[in-house]
Structure 1
Amino acid sequence: MASPNISFDNIPSSIRKPGKYFEFNTRLAVRTLPGNLQKVLVLGQKLAAGSQAAMAPVDVFSDDQAATLFGKGSQLHLMVRAAIKANPYLQLTAIAIADPVGNAATGTTTLAGTASGSGVLTLWVGANRVDVAVNSGDTAASVATALAAAVTARADIPVTSVAAAGVITHTCAHKGTLGNDIKLVASSTAPGMTATVVTMSSGTLDPDYTTTLAAVAGAGHHIIVAPLSSQTQLTVLRTHLDFVSGPMEQRGAIGVFGWSGSLATGTTLTGQINSGRITGAWHRGSLRLPCEIAAAYAAVLASEEDPARPLNTLELVGMDVTGIDQRPTRTEQENALYNGLTPLEIGPGDRVQIVRAISTYTKDPQNVADVSLLDITTIRTLDYVRKACRERISLRFPREKLSERTPDKVRSELYDVLLKLEELEIIEAVEDNKNGLLVERDLQDVNRLNAKIPTDVVNGLHVFAGRIDLLL
């Protein structure tokens, strides 16, 4: 160290042998912002037939691979299928857990009468349609047997079915409460024969994903898909997200869940979670399981690498088109958006699309309404700004001494990062806030620098209002 402005890592200052010595410095090579590829993690239950061990994360690239790894028709298989359908280029990791020790949900389809003409008996199990031909003279018992066999033959349907005296009992392939969300809808076009369903219920207990999430805490996933939409499960996810995204771990991530129930129960759930890192897609009346809605929603979120760009109108490919009577009115959508629930709507061409992606955070710790983290893009932008600043400081100052000149050098690098973020319209007003960018030595730790980095995030253009003046 014989120069005030040039330091060497590999050439000592004590050289006496004549020569021309050069070393390579790569610390100044990167002048751009880091990439923002979004890695998605899905959690779910596997079947015993699945080859992948529980609690072992694995990258998944196809529907068929997921069926082999987790069992065809398993919760995790259905989630992977929905995610890849919505975004075929997804960077997807899945981690499975075995069923809990609870009970499997059951439901029934009861057939009555004897067909006086031909027709078709149709049963929907979730979003899966099963048709059975009915001929004149067929009895309820014979058609029920054929229907049960047709359902069980479809390995990707998450139930098994058994017929007895015209009653088909459907049992979820998994134990736990997830089977309670499987919808049954039956209809018959054969004259003289009717079909009545009793909804799936009595599934008990849920897996505890606390240990599962801890096993992947260091993996750095950006979007985590919740397998179940309950306060207990989402609270576990919230705790995990707060930990990995905090200032010590700095692996910013968001959580995603799906909701197909009523507006009232959905907003009650979001109020119980109240997290700026969790977002839930509301698709009322959907035949899809909530975990499938969540997986598709997460895949679409991951498709947008610009953290500040709104997700309005993006399509969730593969989601079912709900009936007219189930589609939220504008008033209901506004209510959802004021209470932390992201509504989906049926757009032109019967495409299921995002209205506005928001977080579940609506109130601060004092129970005061707070819009600071309303849009999910806000926390994603803050995570990216942190990543950009952190990587720049790590690259430029890997072995830096702390002298009186160091704070100015660090501030200069941070200012450059902010300007580049402004160029990409991720943040704004950098010049206006320049005086607020502070880098100073700590008063208690002689080896520490502290920085205050003003970040005015770019907001989404969600509302446009115009007045049309009539001139005669």
Structure 2
Amino acid sequence: MASPNVSFNTIGSGIRKPGKYFEFNTALAVRTLPGNTQKMLIIGQMLATGTATPLAAVDVFSGDQAALYFGAGSLAHLMTLAAISSNSYLSLQVIGVNDAANGGAAATGTLTLTGPATSTGVVSLWIGNTRLDVTATAGDTATVTAAALVTLIGQTPALPVTASANAGIITLTAKHKGTVGNDINLRAQSTATGATVAVVAMANGATDPDIAPALAAVFAAGHDIVVSPFSTQTALTALRTHIKSVSGPLEQRSAIGVGGWAKTLATGTTLAGQINDGAITLGWHNGSVMLPGEIAAAYAAVIASEEDPARPLNTLALEALDVTALADRPGRNEQENALYNGLTPFEIGPGDVVQIVRAITTYTVDAQGIDDVALLDLTTIRTLYYVRKACRERIALRFPRDKLSTRTGPKVRSELLDVLYKLEELEIVEEVDANKDALIVERDSQDVNRLDAAIPCDVVNGLHVFAGRIDLLL
């Protein structure tokens, strides 16, 4: 028992020995908002050469570590490289998954060389975004040139393929089983007269591993951003299910999911419509030679670099991504179409830098199929997550073991209002005074031990469009 306005946690009320007793109360110490450092998780296929335990998330700080843990040239390795290249200060964990145990097939492609070369030149092969060059001198046969290329591929362990040669034909085989190998881009050219090259694209990869076990393994880990290695309806649906579970009102471990897309606008918007979720974003880099997982990892790392949840990501650079050909770059109409259909477009900005146009989620329609812009911008869900975190932590700090009396509700409301004012100072929410009458804290009608609250949250929107009229005066 204590006085009406002062309570104690450690000083009992039955003391009779004279003395001056003091305890320390830290519940009022924190008056600021919580930090918002973003913890990112990459899910990626790993190779048998990796030293990490499958389905066990590990901290990764460099591409070399990822190569050691998951195998050089593995999808997990390549995604890590893309992420760290885009944000070197990233708080990153990676969880490896093995190839599918049943039904998996590795994609293959071929490079056919002819010869002999009649002049000295260079035969070049691009595997994804990596260029390999060998010199072909006059008289070199296709067999000689092919052998040189195979040797060079073997000396480049970060590639996602292995190679073998039969005469002048090089067969490239994806290191992973699954559809990921089908997205490995192959290109070739020759400047040596008489030596020609012809490419057959990677194909016939089948059966991706299920990422659900990896998501289950990190259910309680509290990652803010989760990157999918595959941009398929199956993988992104599993990610959506995970995020709804961990970010719901009971678990409250707020997270967003990120995928990548390099193919056509039509197929990308179809995929976005199949997911239609306000916490999943799909980055579109049309015509990219990089894997969807690499695109997703680079995009996610840039999202993680912005701790202010309300600040738009427009124009932020994706330095790890390739500069696409002019013919592949989406025009304004395509970008508008993407933004109306749940796809985040990238563009090539000044200095040939890949940039985010506007980061949006895949959510475009509500449960009735009616157009809904409530969660259009990625900043909206990130802001709501942060407001929830700020309110929850303040209540937890101030009222760790309080009684529920008629005085408790007003005290809780006061703390929530203080949080909202501080959020307004940082331009995360706005119009707090105008909406404060809607801030309600009241006792539950059924549970005598419960307080219920309605917290108005007018999120600060991004400045995405400016329109001006210039009036001519003569």
Q: Is residue 2:428 matched to residue 1:426? A: yes
Letter aligned with residue 205 of structure 1:
T
* CA distance, structure 2, for counterparts of residue 65 and residue 206 of structure 1: 24
Stretches (4+) displaced over 3 A? none
Letter aligned with residue 401 of structure 2:
R
TM-score by length of 1: 0.99
* CA distance, structure 1, for counterparts of residue 2 and residue 233 of structure 2: 62
Corresponding residue to 2:290 among 252, 268, 288: 288
How far off is 1:308 after superposition?
A: 0.2
Question: What secondary structure sits across from 1:456 in the alignment?
Answer: coil
Question: What secondary structure sits across from 1:255 in the alignment?
Answer: strand
* CA distance, structure 1, for counterparts of residue 2 and residue 357 of structure 2: 62
* CA distance, structure 1, for counterparts of residue 149 and residue 208 of structure 2: 30
Letter aligned with residue 73 of structure 1:
G
Q: Write the mapping of 1:292-441 to structure 2, written as runs, cut at 5 A.
A: 292-441=294-443
How far off is 1:383 after superposition?
A: 0.2
- The gaps in structure 1 that reach 5 residues or longer are none
1:120 counterpart residue number: 122
CA contact (8 A) 2:2 2:8 kept: no
2:94 counterpart residue number: 94
* CA distance, structure 2, for counterparts of residue 275 and residue 61 of structure 1: 30
1:45 counterpart residue number: 45
* CA distance, structure 1, for counterparts of residue 10 and residue 321 of structure 2: 58
How far off is 1:143 after superposition?
A: 1.1
How far off is 1:114 after superposition?
A: 2.0
TM-score by length of 2: 0.99
Letter aligned with residue 220 of structure 1:
G
How far off is 1:165 after superposition?
A: 2.4
CA contact (8 A) 1:411 1:439 kept: yes
* CA distance, structure 1, for counterparts of residue 129 and residue 2 of structure 2: 73
Letter aligned with residue 399 of structure 1:
R
* CA distance, structure 2, for counterparts of residue 146 and residue 17 of structure 1: 91
CA contact (8 A) 1:282 1:344 kept: yes
Letter aligned with residue 37 of structure 1:
T
Q: Is residue 2:262 matched to residue 1:260? A: yes
CA contact (8 A) 1:152 1:159 kept: no
* CA distance, structure 1, for counterparts of residue 18 and residue 151 of structure 2: 89
Out of 354-363 and 8-17, give the one that drifted further.
Answer: 8-17
Q: Is residue 2:207 matched to residue 1:205? A: yes
Q: What CA RMSD, in Å, does the superposition of the two structures yield over aligned residues?
A: 0.7
Letter aligned with residue 99 of structure 2:
D
* CA distance, structure 1, for counterparts of residue 56 and residue 219 of structure 2: 13
CA contact (8 A) 1:311 1:354 kept: yes
CA contact (8 A) 2:83 2:320 kept: no
2:18 counterpart residue number: 18
Question: What secondary structure sits across from 2:432 in the alignment?
Answer: coil
1:3 counterpart residue number: 3
Q: Write the mapping of 1:206-285 to structure 2, written as runs, cut at 5 A.
A: 206-285=208-287
Letter aligned with residue 67 of structure 2:
A
* Number of residue pairs aligned between Structure 1 and Structure 2: 472
Give the percent of matched residue pairs that are identical in Structure 1 and Structure 2: 66
Question: What secondary structure sits across from 2:84 in the alignment?
Answer: helix
* CA distance, structure 2, for counterparts of residue 316 and residue 270 of structure 1: 21
Letter aligned with residue 388 of structure 1:
A
* CA distance, structure 1, for counterparts of residue 330 and residue 390 of structure 2: 39
- The gaps in structure 2 that reach 5 residues or longer are none
Letter aligned with residue 446 of structure 1:
V
* CA distance, structure 2, for counterparts of residue 332 and residue 88 of structure 1: 32
* CA distance, structure 1, for counterparts of residue 149 and residue 287 of structure 2: 24
* CA distance, structure 1, for counterparts of residue 263 and residue 255 of structure 2: 26
Out of 112-121 and 124-133, give the one that drifted further.
Answer: 112-121
1:34 counterpart residue number: 34
